[in-house]
Amino acid sequence: MKILLTGANGYIGMRLLPKLLEMGHQLVCAVRDEKRLSVDENTRSNIEVVEIDFLEDPTNQEVPSDIDAAYYLIHSMTSSVTDFDEKEAQAAKNFNTLLAKTQCEQVIYLSGIVNDKELSKHLSSRKNVEDILYQGSFQLTVLRAGIIVGSGSSSFEIIRDLCEKLPVMITPKWVLTKTQPIAIRDVIQFLTQVLGNKNTYNQSFDIGGPDVLTYKDMLHGYAKVRGFKNWIFTVPVMTPKLSSYWLYFVTSTSYKLATNLVDSMKMEVVAKDNQLQQMLGIETHTYEEAIDMAFKKIEQNLVISSWKDSIASGQIKKDLENYIQVPKYGVLQDKKSLPITNEKKVLKNIWSIGGETGWYYGNWLWKIRGFLDKLVGGPGLRRGRTHPDKIFPGDALDFWRVLLADKKRKRLLLFAEMKTPGEAWLEFKIEDGVLYQTATFRPKGLLGRLYWYSVLPFHLFIFGNMIKNIAKS
């Protein structure tokens, strides 16, 4: 079967892609920027990639006309607090227009459980998208999932941050709201097994795990799996805005996502029935099993995707090409170079930078810079990195975004997403047995220049020692 996979480089899309290939399907991956599709060369050789922005005019874009089915995995919740619902509606309408030119028989849409009369803006938008997709020229299958738990999922990472950092928590009353979490492994099973199943055409199904829990239960359940205790006390006075700031500063989430999540956490999200589970014969995993499986993936460095690699998790615009050419004029630079003897080892050091490895010198200073960045609305160091030694263009790397990661040319180029009065690049490359490290800053006005010169004393010993430690073999 020839399948169009939208959102192919998103959290769900990256998990679904290898499974569909394993099942023998022919894949057309729709992404906004082909360079951001984080797959190895072998996988890329087995798929077709098309660049489509579903927020743009569909008359200037197209998908292969001979697709048999499509997955709709597009959402904008992390990109905006105010108008993400309008963006999601427009994307769905444009998707319908594009699909009308094809022979597509079935579209599978992953949505969220909507069982309250008064829906949050997030869930109301998901329901609106569902209604729009039902107007398409295809048969629609809607899977309404509860909170998805898996390595790299936003829900798992938030729970992990809260429990690991705060053994005692003073929490808002929404932690008593009931929800029905589901393991990412089970979500992928549902998504693949409804494919081509005519009994699911033009129907919407709720999917969830076997446990109905409050958020408080989920926090306690996480601690139990990890082998420690935590204490949670609820207070009725924390406003949604305060709750959003609380999540933003304590966890790895962005403020936009925190705001939309808090809005949704006030609503009970429980599956109405398990009709589809019975129809397909799927045995779902408990919440604690889902946590345990997530940690096994983390411990084995097998995390395929993370919500933090989304472009919307940072400050950069969607087109990486706008930033990949480092400016030469009107900039301030810190250039350093060192001869090296073991290129392979040094290249490995470069590809391991950030996250748990750190920045090779003055990590406590980097942490202070990250904390200050978060205070003014930047990403800080909250995102880390998805894999300890693999990097793809578009990946988040602490408060940097990867623009270029070319091991053959021995070059790594990062763009700063921290809040600064200017634009900053950090480049590492190896040429003719020499390691080059260049920090480039394009200031915005006088404030930008004052900023550069105020941090210059730190650059002198931070960047100087960083290149020395990277060059060690």
pLDDT-derived band at 305, boundaries 50, 70, 90: low
The alpha carbon of residue 146 and the mean position of all alpha carbons in its chain are separated, in whole angstroms, by 18
Dihedral pair phi/psi, residue 396, rounded to 5°: -80, 140
- For 87-130, the pLDDT digits (tens) are 888 999 999 999 998 999 999 999 988 876 666 666 778 888 99
State the pLDDT at residue 252. 65
Range with the largest mean pLDDT of 36-50, 193-207, 242-256: 193-207
Signed CA dihedral, 357, 363, 366, 370: sign only: positive
Instruction: Round to whole Å and give the CA distance between 401 and 35.
Output: 13
pTM of this prediction?
A: 0.76
Instruction: Round to whole Å and give the CA distance between 21 and 245.
Output: 41
State the pLDDT at residue 301. 53
pLDDT-derived band at 326, boundaries 50, 70, 90: confident
State the pLDDT at residue 119. 67
pLDDT(319) > 80: no
State the pLDDT at residue 264. 63
The chain-wide mean pLDDT, for the chain, equals 84
State the pLDDT at residue 202. 95
State the pLDDT at residue 395. 83
pLDDT(321) > 90: no
- For 201-237, the pLDDT digits (tens) are 999 999 999 999 998 999 999 999 989 999 988 887 6
Least confident piece of the model among 28-42, 270-284, 307-321: 307-321
State the pLDDT at residue 79. 47
Instruction: Round to whole Å and give the CA distance between 183 and 209.
Output: 7
Least confident piece of the model among 106-110, 145-149, 369-373: 369-373
User: Between these two residues, 3 and 254, which has the higher pLDDT value?
Assistant: 3
Please write down the HEC assignment for all residues of 171-235: EEHHHHCEECCEEHHHHHHHHHHCCCCHHHCCEEEEECCCCCEEHHHHHHHHHHHHCCCCEEEEE
Count Cβ atoms below 10 Å from residue 412 Cβ, excluding itself.
22
